[in-house]
């Protein structure tokens, strides 16, 4: 008896860094964190196809524009970064654009869920408003 095993080639998403920890983000200056200005604390995230087949890089849910800005992409709609062949990567520039009332000095976190295995991009930040004049410890 002959046994034939067929493997399915598939893409595999590798995200670096993940999670994306922005740390404290100062909103005291205000206008610099506006989406029109590109947001605060921009960071580049690399999404790489570490598999052996093409990978459709789509997040059906998109991302929350109340908190994040993604350079070149609209908030609160499907996020489609296209097809990545094996070994290819795309750079996604993320920044912080806002926070909700009551969240000041509390960690805010979320996830951009891509529709592929291993496709959760976790992020966090703590909004602050540095008024200056405090003890800096020096």
Q: What is the pLDDT of residues 37-47, one digit of tens each?
A: 788 899 999 99
The full DSSP string for the chain is ------PPP---EEEESSSEEEEEEE-TT-GGGSGGGT-EEEEEEEEEE-SSS-EEEEETT---TTTEEETTB-TTS-EEEEEE-TT-EEEEEEEE----TT-TTS-EEEEEE-SSTT-EEEEEEEEE---S-S----
Give a yes or no: residue 133 inside a domain: no
Domain assignment present for 127:
no
**Does residue 125 lie within any of the structural domains?**
no
Number of domains in the chain: 1
Q: Which pLDDT belongs to residue 6?
A: 42
Give me the domain span that covers residue 96. Answer: 29-117
User: Is residue 24 situated within a structural domain?
Assistant: no
Whole-prediction pTM: 0.83
What confidence score (pLDDT) does residue 5 get? 40
The answer to the question of residue 113 being in a domain is: yes
């Amino acid at each position: 008896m002959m046994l034939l095993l067929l493997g399915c080639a598939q893409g595999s998403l590798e995200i670096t860094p993940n999670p994306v920890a922005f740390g404290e983000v100062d909103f005291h200056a205000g206008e610099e964190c506006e989406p029109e200005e590109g947001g605060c604390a921009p960071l580049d995230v690399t999404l790489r196809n570490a598999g052996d087949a093409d990978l459709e890089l789509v997040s059906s849910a998109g991302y929350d524009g109340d908190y994040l800005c993604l350079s070149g992409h609209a908030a609160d709609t499907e996020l489609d970064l296209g097809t990545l062949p094996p070994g290819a990567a795309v750079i996604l520039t993320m920044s912080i654009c806002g926070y909700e009332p009551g969240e000041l000095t509390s960690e805010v976190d979320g996830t951009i869920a891509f529709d592929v295995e291993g496709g959760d991009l976790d992020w966090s930040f703590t909004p602050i408003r540095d008024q200056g004049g405090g003890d800096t410890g020096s």
